Structure 1
């Protein structure tokens, strides 16, 4: 039975007659309740902050998504928080719908207490998770309480103007939030004052990234208006949905309808999260299929027996996956190495690979790779390198080819795949990647111990992006001693993800406000390439294990913690390292979203043109490999290697595109070929006809 009160009316019936925005005297014609009004104000505050620059530049599409998601997220948090405050206020006023006075009292006390708690927990580098979460909760609660007070004050007791005044208040909050950031002083982390190695120029400004993007003022205004309209619609729809759910809950389980508003909003949020999760799962499934398919231009297996997939290996070429086929099929030939390095002869480099599709489990995959190492006599070469691929299985060809050129082919490279998805969607595969890499390392160590010391090769490690984490986590919990004890001669990792525990162990309690010294041991962890280049030569010669990163690379900065913890690279402006954004302020939820989009924009290279910044390390890699791995080469040879690397990158890209075009249905081939020629013209900055494209490919696949 539903509870009743004076006048023999049910609480539900009475609630249905109450105003939907504000307290007594509101207009029932308004389609938003008090919580929705607070949600709109919170969304306005967050939308203004969503325009802040982060590590890299962004395009209009990215900005639209960031602003939209930020608006929806802020609306949900603020409206849910206001519902809770309203439920408490209704008990204070002892009415079904909280009075304005009760709302102001509850929100005021809550806001003051939360603001005090936030002030008592100022940000500190290396602070505990408990402290960071406590401050975030306090700051968020204080903001919700302030927005709730503003909603109550704005609504007042004027029925006809309540909705207009509420949106006017939201607009004022949005403008104030934007102006408080001093946007005219902000700039992305990739922006530099003058040209630097690998930088690009765009409209008189210089950036350390592959491509400079922009959101025009007109587009910014359009995005803002569009998001405002969507938020308005969201407020209407969400208010109606939660109202209906609250009524239903009151009928089914009893209690106060006001209390069930929170349940309704939580249900709405759960439906949204479920929809997003379903979409991500579908995208992952589609990408998995694409990542495992070998491209038309790479369907022919290699002929050299030193390469996995050749007839001598006995491994089905159809199972090497797309990235495996690329890496194995692009192996340098001895004649090309000799020509580029200016020597009489060179050896055929060894490349062995165990793809995800070759085995059903980690152990079998590791056995396949070790078997290939044995078959090719890889450990009898002068040097052996174990490359940890990215999430998709990609092995950095600039690093590998530099290794092969400088070793004159007398070397072996190995890689084992743990996923076919992009790194951002392969995070859960890190334990698998680390486990099977450890198995391979143990197998290699056993074989080396059985060899005479004078015949053992130099052993190197290389990892990029998620591959760096996979490789480094083998030494988790053992510090630098764990790596030194393996007998690895040198290692180079680029763009190590923020979640890598071993790197955190090595970094310790150092501050990002100061350039680090070499250590522990022979490891060096620069904050950016500026640190690495500024390191005195005598100290650089001590480095055997280099964890290289660009200052504006989002991979080493992105992580779930950024959603609820202010990161060290967003500390006080005057203490931020090179590559961090200037003037940008952290916001829960939003900063992790903008950093995620930075990851999507971090590597969009133009084939044949080596840039620097973001997640692009092509420009610095050859020299870093040469120095860290102690490989001999003259400056003249390095210049020729740099040229050959660029030639090969462009040639192989155009070759794959052209063969893919020829594989189209007959009625689509001409259109596809025209598209490739247009793309080639964009890459080179000049008009490319079919004959010229064939020349670029023929001369560049194996430079002479």
Structure 2
């Protein structure tokens, strides 16, 4: 270098070493992750969810930048690397880099805003307004600053503890002890205080909701439902969702009006889970209700695994009742009352236990009947209910042997049998709509039309009984949310996007996981047919499972269900 050159060390330039000291490399990565976080995902986000995602990503990016700068400095010292540039070059860089950074930020922000607008257009929703973006940025900055302050507080505590321990221990050992002690204390505080206290607060709120009685609903007068005359389960014990389930039972007169055929009064049985009941006791209570209502004499008996709150999709329930002319019984039970998202984070085993125990109890009861007097045993569930319901079976072959068909709706991709079938799909069929043995027993459908042909329009062969339908929208975040996407690109993002997904959606490490996490919170915002909203498409699905054909005319049944269905969760 010439004598006029100025040495610039590879160490990370920053502001003076005070509490407001910030790493330049950390800020660069924070800005990059902040911009990336505004990229589109499956569903348009609310401003506050966008703010949370951007804040988390900015904080993670800052941390990554700090770590990388520390590693580079360490390696540079190790190999005695020193980089220097001339004074003129340094001046040019100081002028050009900020300008290029501003241009890049503005361009990427505008591009992401437009792309999120296209996502909203795909689903018929309104995009965020400029004032919403201002709010999102404010939330992001506040959250990122909070997380940074917490991290710096922990670092300072570690340094002080290391200094104190250094009075009696070697320096290296003192540092290790300080890191272990502060790390352990942080994990304990996060898990036992913050996380568990937060979950307990949510559970308490859910318990209050569960204890409420639905407005406009009263104790049923029908003996064919739990909570009604002669029922061993009191109406109050069913919980909020159980009360909604039994009071939403289809009326025989409405079924007759829609089908033009004679109809029976359908049976719906349900048992709530009080504090003094085990899963096994709740399942036994359901079986007792089935016996009381003589449900085992019906043509169809459906075992539906509920979501975390105890909810059963009324579109599925009414579809079964209308298609069977009311000659049906639907059995469900409550295993918790917390929302499915909370249950996914805190307890994935209870839904599986509930799905397994209830099916096994009912299966055992049916096995005592003569074969010619057994009802058609079908299964179903939505989202967490589908995940739990699958636990009754070892694999797809076991499901074919032990049940007479089913409709699984919005099944999480980490569900064992779902993953098994998707992994065994015909080469060339997409992960969003796998083809299994030319649709011989299992058919994945992103819309009702795909019950007769695959995603690309190729007709299926014969559909043999038992029949199973997996209804899943490409834009349903519940289906595609999976912790593995934190660090691994899933097949559905390697392949062409689904018809209801913005083509701009792409996999980004760490970011995509959090985008889908918040997408789940708004999964019911779109209209039926998009996101986690399944409606009329479930009628032909259940029609095919129960013995009809998927291309039959279900318009009168759909219209009848549409008038009476209850959709709120």
- Following superposition, the deviation at residue 403 of structure 1 comes to 1.5
Any residues of structure 2 matched to 1:468-487 within 5 Å, and which? 468-476=386-394, 478=395, 480-486=396-402
Equivalence for 1:601: 522
- For structure 1, the residue ranges without an aligned partner over 5 or more in a row are 1-20, 94-100, 105-151, 192-201, 657-704
Sort the Cα spacing of 1:630 and 1:33 in 2 relative to 1 into closer, same or farther, 3 A.
Answer: same
Q: Contact 1:181/1:583 (CA < 8 Å) preserved in 2?
A: no
Give the direction of change, closer, same or farther, for the CA distance of 1:521–1:74 in structure 2 (3 Å limit).
Answer: same
Q: Is the 8 A contact 2:540 2:550 kept in 1?
A: no
Q: The residue matched to 1:461 in structure 2 has which SS? A: strand
Aligned with 1:77 (options 52, 61, 64): 64
- The number of aligned residues is 546
Per the alignment, residue 525 of structure 1 pairs with: 444
Q: Write the deviation string for residues 548-582 of structure 1: whole angstroms up to 9, x where unpaired.
A: 1111111110011111211222216xx34444442
Partner of 1:591: 512
> Is 2:102 aligned against 1:214?
no
Distance 2:513 2:442 in 1: 29
The aligned residue for residue 420 of structure 2 is 505
2:159 equivalent to 1:246: yes
Coordinate RMSD, CA, aligned: 4.3
- CA 1:533–1:187 in 2, change beyond 3 Å: closer, same or farther? farther
Please state if 1:490 is matched with 2:405: yes
- 1:109-156 deviation line (CA, Å, top 9, x unaligned): xxxxxxxxxxxxxxxxxxxxxxxxxxxxxxxxxxxxxxxxxxx99999
- Over 3 Å counting, the alpha-carbon distance change for 1:238 and 1:537 in structure 2 is closer
Q: How does 1:206-605 map to 2 (within 5 A)?
A: 206-207=122-123, 212-217=125-130, 219-220=132-133, 223-224=136-137, 227=140, 231=144, 238-239=151-152, 242-243=155-156, 245-253=158-166, 255=171, 263=179, 273=190, 277-278=195-196, 280-297=198-215, 300-343=218-261, 345-357=262-274, 360-427=277-344, 428-476=346-394, 478=395, 480-486=396-402, 488-510=403-425, 514=430, 516-519=434-437, 521-526=440-445, 531-532=450-451, 534-535=453-454, 539=461, 541-542=463-464, 544-571=467-494, 575-604=496-525
**1:645 match:** 561
Q: 1:222 to 1:401 in 2, by over 3 A?
A: closer
CA contact (8 A) 1:359 1:365 kept: no
TM-score by length of 2: 0.82
Equivalent-residue separation in structure 1 for 2:177 and 2:27 (angstroms): 17
Give secondary structure in 1 for the equivalent of 2:478: coil
SS at match of 2:329: strand
Asked if the contact 2:478/2:520 (under 8 Å) is kept, the reply is yes
Alpha carbons of structure 1 residues 530 and 417: separation in structure 2 relative to 1, 3 Å: same
Question: Counterpart of 2:321 in 1: which secondary structure?
Answer: helix
Which whole-Å CA distance do the structure 2 matches of 1:648 and 1:215 have between them? Answer: 34
- Give the deviation of 1:482 after TM superposition: 0.4
Whether the 8 Å CA contact 1:386–1:415 is kept in 2: the answer is yes
1:616 aligns with 2:537: no
> Which one has a bigger Cα radius of gyration?
1
Which consecutive residues of structure 2, in runs of 5 or more, have no partner in the other structure?
Answer: 1-8
Q: How does 1:624-663 map to 2 (within 5 A)?
A: 624-631=541-548, 638-649=554-565
